[in-house]
Structure 1
């Protein structure tokens, strides 16, 4: 798998237009993750909300995304890949626009949940669609998908900062408009992909978690995402920057994440193995969060740490996603849904917990707590390596 990934990076095979349409839609979809980062303080200020209330924009989005992962297989096996993608995009268009038109924090939190439902339908189906429609094999498709994720996560904060400097409503309307373009491109250019012969069940992802390897990786991702979203949802409140400044900081973070997820992770995987590389990346991320917890009062330290963290997060994201695809003897879509269900629950807890801890104790506590969760994630991988050792055998 590692050799395939490295070879795929060197290829320049032309892809059909529909693959680039899905690629574009993936970028816009993943923009939603970091889009609200630069406008969190502005929303809190203008809507008279507390940081923990504003953090629920992440929590509701991630919670519904995670829970809805259980039904994505049911939906796609009945209406097909194309209409699952289009339905997900349609939900995003509607709920992003509704969030932009809202006048209260609880309305936005609710509409972000609807956005999360659309996001789950889309991202759960997009990878299989790219694999099925692209030239160059699975390795090339994974590189394309990871590149789309990286671009979306890096461009999202930049767009959020630029549009957010005009109005906090701007980023929401911006995503809605861009997704309309993606919807039309897929509607007219994407062919019908044959439906699977076996209909999916809501219980399939739950049952898949009985496999020790997949369960361990899901638990790892649950703990790790608490730290991940502590950084995403809490750090904007302690950097003392405006929308433009926050947008550029998270652009740097996202570019680091995109670069390492596509170019660095496969090389580390090939040289040191998945499990060792994951343990090192998780340890480095935990230490970064700890440094942010110790020097929270230094805006410069927090800014630099956020950008550096992107290097470790991008690498780990690719490592753990690749491991999930290899570890369970079930279909990739089912394994992905099971893993995503668990990790997005962690992503829902992290933002609210971080800001609540800051309000109840001190600004330092959220980062230190996040570091502890990430350290536990590393220990899960380290002590569970016997159940995960075949990942590296498959990879090599």
Structure 2
């Protein structure tokens, strides 16, 4: 790993240096990030195909999201413990190996239960990878912390936008195609990580297993984490169940719909959210954005039997989701009074629980209560509105963060000598930045 202090920018340097001029190690990890984020929308275009060819109900198919995200959530609690013992590089490698193994296994099975089980293993690998990748990019990137965030957000956006297209294209050949495709791409990322990423030192302090859960005693972190859970309930209700309402059987056509959605997610994550934040502040932007997303979900609930309305609302929702993804995460990291790796693990655990349970609940409600799928989207709209209410209880803290006032790290935790943490403390978390801001 490069010395972080050497890569930290001098005053004004980050404005002159493009975040896309990076060493090969950073590009290897960024490529793996793109493939990892593809997994978010990769299976959407093949959900109906899976249900038809494997004789599964929509509720059973929704378990592909639940097993993946719930295991990812729980595994987030141990990723810091693992990484602090074996180092960031080996944690990344372990995560990539698990993703390759379980994605190929999912494509090789012949039952929906097998796919659901292998998706759970995929979720474990994903947790190890995503919890470590940003820290590695921060430590290795040129251009400082702000440039690293831009690169990471760009990888997220490209992955989210490309996932449905690749999933739909490969899914039109066979439902197994997307799973084998991820396995092949992640194998390339694994080889690149092994050869291009320098050996990383183990952190000086070993993280305790109890730290992520213990961090929930801090009101600011607990509140923003619950906000993430409620918002992700609405997000993954839309992502997981809307394909069944679009009246589209072609995986390629479904992939194009979700590509449009993903492009808006990417654009508003990297460009829209920072500009709205600077003009209106984090809190006000999120309040309005949550309200608009709730209206969007409510329209789907009312017109769930009208495919064209569902398609348009899903694509439009990408704008709201892009803003939320960036600003809610920024809010968590800005006001949490604990070290960022701990805050990230805590937040990831809580929010992915919401994301994992929402598709399962939607499938059960449609199967047993509401065949026309009005209720799941009304519930999603309600949880997103509730997210705004919960977030309002830390309004003052969000305002202080916007003014650059960082919270004092809780004294109960010893000073972490990890170079990434040290770099972040020298280079405080900026407001969400755009590519133009970092050039």
Per the TM superposition, whether the score is higher than 0.5 is: yes
**TM-score, scaled relative to structure 1:** 0.96
Corresponding residue number in structure 1 for 2:402: 392
Spell out, residue by residue over 1:239-260, the C-alpha distance to the aligned partner (whole angstroms, 9 max, x if none).
0112111100000000000011
Corresponding residue number in structure 1 for 2:232: 225
The structure 2 residue matched to 1:328, chosen from 331, 336, 350, is: 336
Corresponding residue number in structure 1 for 2:40: 33
1:1-396 correspondence runs (5 A)? 11=18, 14-241=21-248, 242-359=250-367, 360-361=369-370, 362-394=372-404
State the 1:158 CA deviation: 0.6
1:34–1:156 Cα contact (<8 Å) kept: yes
Spell out, residue by residue over 1:98-151, the C-alpha distance to the aligned partner (whole angstroms, 9 max, x if none).
000011111110000000000000000000000000011111111111111111
Spell out, residue by residue over 1:5-47, the C-alpha distance to the aligned partner (whole angstroms, 9 max, x if none).
xx76983561101111111000001111110000001101111
State the 1:329 CA deviation: 2.1
SS in 1 for 2:87: helix
Task: Find the aligned partners of 1:132 and 1:12 in 2 and give their Cα distance.
Answer: 14
Tell me whether 9-18 or 112-121 shows the greater mean CA deviation.
9-18
1:275–1:392 Cα contact (<8 Å) kept: no
State the 1:70 CA deviation: 0.5
Task: Find the aligned partners of 2:344 and 2:350 in 1 and give their Cα distance.
Answer: 10
Corresponding residue number in structure 1 for 2:435: none
1:12–1:89 CA distance, 2 compared to 1 (3 A): closer
2:20–2:151 Cα contact (<8 Å) kept: no
2:19–2:150 Cα contact (<8 Å) kept: no
Structure 2: gaps of 5 or more residues? 1-10, 405-429, 432-439
2:19–2:147 Cα contact (<8 Å) kept: no
Structure 1: gaps of 5 or more residues? none
1:116–1:46 CA distance, 2 compared to 1 (3 A): same
SS in 2 for 1:158: helix
Task: Find the aligned partners of 1:377 and 1:312 in 2 and give their Cα distance.
Answer: 14
Task: Find the aligned partners of 1:52 and 1:67 in 2 and give their Cα distance.
Answer: 22
Task: Find the aligned partners of 1:97 and 1:9 in 2 and give their Cα distance.
Answer: 43
Task: Find the aligned partners of 1:53 and 1:202 in 2 and give their Cα distance.
Answer: 33
May I ask how many residue pairs the two structures share in their alignment?
391
Choose 1 or 2 for highest CA Rg.
2
